Chains A and B, each alone.
Chain A
Amino acid sequence: QQPVQSPQAVILREGEDAVINCSSSKALYSVHWYRQKHGEAPVFLMILLKGGEQKGHEKISASFNEKKQQSSLYLTASQLSYSGTYFCGTGRDNYGQNFVFGPGTRLSVLP
């Protein structure tokens, strides 16, 4: 079942902060975050695993509330290069059978 992302779209000025949320109705094993620029391939940002393990880019921060089946991606002091569509992907187990991407959040950073 596809996770829900909020907001659907957000517009920021350079230097402002944003939070993108991802939630599921099912218990989760993992949450992935990717950013896609128009016409390009998605790029990996971060993985958060059940139990607290995280891996990803140094300048990206995120949280994973296992009980609430929710994850949030925190973008601080945004730069123009942060513009794009952010997708979360959720996995319910580690068997490769239940991974699904959310619909995306479109982020625009203006000068």
Chain B
Amino acid sequence: DGGITQSPKYLFRKEGQNVTLSCEQNLNHDAMYWYRQDPGQGLRLIYYSQIVNDFQKGDIAEGYSVSREKKESFPLTVTSAQKNPTAFYLCASSLGTERYEQYFGPGTRLTVT
């Protein structure tokens, strides 16, 4: 079955540690996205990538980093520089640009204490 997978579903970390969230898709999509969602809030774009080896900052990129070495994979690292990292993180992919719908993974709930 085609789809997007994110792992792990729940992640707990101590403050000051970097953590990497996984996102893999087998839909052969060119574009991939990372969103952050806080309780009762909308989706805010962290980073997006339209092709391999290229990515762009979204609205809230500070304290985060990404890589896109393979078409299928778009991992997100939450660094210790991110001041309030506890949130629900969603990865999505699409055929590309605003003409196409986004398919979302199940999300990773990160808790930093």
Contact = CB atoms under 8 A, between A and B. Distances in A.
Nearest to A91: B98
A47 interface: yes
Interface residues on A, range: 20 to 34
Interface in B73-113: 90, 96-107
Interface in B56-74: 56, 59
Contacts of B103: 44
Interface string A74-111: 00000000000001010111111111111110000000
B49 to A, nearest CB: 9
Given A96-B50, A104-B42, A42 B98 contact: no
Interface string A20-36: 00000000011010100
A12 B38 CA distance: 26
A96 B31 contact: yes
Contacts of A97: 56
Interface in B35-62: 35, 41-45, 48, 50, 56, 59
B24 to A, nearest CB: 15
Interface of B: 31, 35, 41-45, 48, 50, 56, 59, 90, 96-107
Interface of A: 2, 29-30, 32, 34, 40-44, 47, 49, 55, 87, 89, 91-104
